[in-house]
Homo-oligomer: A and B are copies of this chain.
């Protein structure tokens, strides 16, 4: 049932039907009522393709993420929370959110290009930005409004939103150095995902401010997965002068690291301090609970929406694109809260904690 059927059924023209349904003012109140009722009764609903063709816009916002576990920054739980904030925000503005998944086997750039060329979406949000990300330059030249979730060396004056790596690094390093730690390892992504670099650099800067050098040996690159975290544990064990603290860029790593430490009869939060960049559903259920950084992902999703709307409207008005650093709040757990003193104290506390745990 299309608009012609409905118009014929009502003995009015398709123009009137269209106007009535789109809430235009120049239509008789009674006529509108009749149209609305008939549309409901016949189950009429405008065809999106016809509408998009005529209006030159689809009303769709695409959110591109990759399903690649190895490289993927976040699991679906993370994005679900972001969408939970983003989707209602867009819906209020008559925009539909669709998630566009690029599988591991595909080239993300080719995937995006296809989406853009077919004009499937009026705006895009891209996640998992790479250090050099051709998608950004492409979107700029194509003049398609977009927001990059994550900074990048590509582009420049485009809209983006990113987490506060500098703030997190500063707070983490501050806390650890106050507790006496000097030898601090950083576990980051093995892929080219940009925030892996950002976080390491932010930590390096925070350490330098305290006259501590971050040597290459202390930067551990592994996949952001449980398995990667386990490898981090192995690599810590291999070091001749084992770090007393480690910062993880992803919470999933913590699960693997904890496992590996317990296997080696080390207790997180006693024998080695652990702070994690991001929160995760299991963070508070690990023993000891993780010290990590919290963020309201639904608020963040909403902000992504606001930034995109700004980009869409700004394309006309020429306003400056929004570039936002999203703050994160430290949630103190038990994975890092011990003070390094002398070696004697440390081995004593180690002996004590060995009583419990690890049935295996």
- Please give the residue numbers on chain A whose beta carbons come within 8 Å of chain B beta carbons, in ascending order: 43, 45-50, 52-53, 58, 67, 69, 72, 75-81, 83-84, 87-88, 91, 96-101, 103-106, 114, 117-120, 225-226, 229-230, 252, 255-256, 258-259, 262, 267, 269-270, 281-282, 284-288, 334, 358-360
Which B residues lie within 8 Å of A100 (CB)? 98-99
Contact of A285 among B84, B106, B256 (CB under 8 A): B256
Instruction: Determine the distance from Cα of A117 to Cα of B21 in the docked complex, in whole angstroms.
Output: 15
Instruction: Determine the distance from Cα of A76 to Cα of B284 in the docked complex, in whole angstroms.
Output: 16
Contact: A67 with B49, CB < 8 Å?
no
Contact: A281 with B98, CB < 8 Å?
no
Q: Beyond A88-B105, A255-B282, A256-B285, is A77–B80 a contact (Cβ under 8 Å)? A: no
Which B residues lie within 8 Å of A360 (CB)? 287-288, 334
Contact of A259 among B58, B80, B287, B334 (CB under 8 A): B287
Which B residues lie within 8 Å of A103 (CB)? 83-84, 87-88
Can you sample 6 A-B contacts with CB below 8 Å? A49-B119, A67-B84, A76-B76, A88-B106, A98-B99, A226-B285
Contact: B285 with A230, CB < 8 Å?
yes
Q: Closest CB-CB distance, A142 to chain B, in whole Å? A: 9
Which B residues lie within 8 Å of A78 (CB)? 76
Q: Beyond A52-B49, A226-B281, A287-B359, is A80–B67 a contact (Cβ under 8 Å)? A: yes
- How many copies make up the complex? 2
Instruction: Determine the distance from Cα of A50 to Cα of B262 in the docked complex, in whole angstroms.
Output: 60
Contact of A58 among B49, B96, B282 (CB under 8 A): B49
Contact of A75 among B52, B80, B229 (CB under 8 A): B80
Q: Closest CB-CB distance, A290 to chain B, in whole Å? A: 12
Contact of A80 among B72, B225, B262, B281 (CB under 8 A): B72
Contact of A76 among B53, B79, B288 (CB under 8 A): B79
Contact: A45 with B117, CB < 8 Å?
yes
Contact: A281 with B47, CB < 8 Å?
no
Q: Beyond A49-B49, A53-B50, A67-B87, is A76–B252 a contact (Cβ under 8 Å)? A: yes
Q: Closest CB-CB distance, A58 to chain B, in whole Å? A: 7
- 9 shortest A-B CB distances, which residue pairs? A75-B76, A45-B117, A99-B99, A49-B52, A48-B118, A259-B285, A49-B53, A98-B98, A67-B80
Q: Closest CB-CB distance, A77 to chain B, in whole Å? A: 5
Contact of A118 among B46, B104, B259 (CB under 8 A): B46
Q: Closest CB-CB distance, A229 to chain B, in whole Å? A: 8
| CB-based nearest B residue for A142 | B43
Q: Beyond A252-B76, A259-B287, is A83–B98 a contact (Cβ under 8 Å)? A: no
| CB-based nearest B residue for A281 | B226
